[in-house]
Amino acid sequence: MSAHVYNDEGIRRAIDAGIKSIEHGHLAAGRETVKLMASKGVWLSTQPFLESDHEYANAENAEKNKQVCDGVANTFTWAREVGANIAFGTDLLLEPEKAGLQNEMLTRLSTDFGFSPIEALRIATSGNAALFRLSGERDPYKAGRLGVIEVGAWADVLLVENDPTQDLTVLGDPDKNLAVIIKDGHIYKNLLG
């Protein structure tokens, strides 16, 4: 079970109700709330927002956006410090023309929020896979393991120009840097010939 919650009071109420994933959590008021999440095994699935992502015509909405964006940095910092489970969430990007922003947001984990490229890749792959497993019978991938490389596991294959474990920004431009994309055993892109 997951809950879309932003503030401290909502996060704590959701945890008390047995929620296993907090979607957003940008306005957690302190390290103690994120520490509580970690102690209960609750996931933080949040978005690496920057103020520049949105433009607002009025000052009130701009201030709310600033609070959320400042909260992102705090929440990620506390989650890392206390060892909370972190997933990569992008559920606010529902407009097809903004799909590319997901790639940019992934790279931000490394460029703007202090995760190494390998940590960011783990969050988005094996971390998200572990979170999916909590969906029980609704798990669309229950026929195989996720987030691992082994025989019988569910996996997509990306062949990347350069090394994303050293420089995650190569994933920010998939049109240029993904040479091969294989999903569900089908080749969707092959620039190798």
The answer on 32 and 108 residing in a single domain is yes
Residues 106, 167, single domain; the answer is no
According to the model, what pLDDT value does residue 81 have?
95
Are both 165 and 135 inside the same structural domain?
A: no
Task: Give pTM, 2 decimals.
Answer: 0.88
Asked if residue 50 and residue 23 are part of one domain, the reply reads yes
Q: Does one domain contain both 182 and 95?
A: no
On whether both 50 and 120 belong to a single domain, the answer is yes
Statement to judge: residues 126 and 163 lie in one domain: no
Give the pLDDT of residue 170: 95
Cβ proximity of 77 and 114 under 8 Å: yes
pLDDT tens figures, 59-111: 999 999 999 999 999 999 999 999 999 999 876 666 777 777 888 899 999 99
60 and 94 assigned to the same domain: yes
Residue 132 lies in a domain: yes
Within 50-89, strands assigned E span 85-88
pLDDT at 90: 73
Low-confidence residues of the chain: pLDDT under 70: 91-94
Question: Are 4 and 18 a contacting pair, CB within 8 Å?
Answer: no
What is the number of domains present in the chain? Answer: 2
| pLDDT given for residue 154 in this prediction | 79
> Using the 8-state DSSP alphabet, how is residue 125 labeled?
I
So what's the pLDDT on residue 91?
66
Which domain range does residue 189 map to?
156-193
Q: Kindly state whether residue 149 falls inside one of the protein's structural domains.
A: no
Q: Residue 102 domain-assigned? A: yes
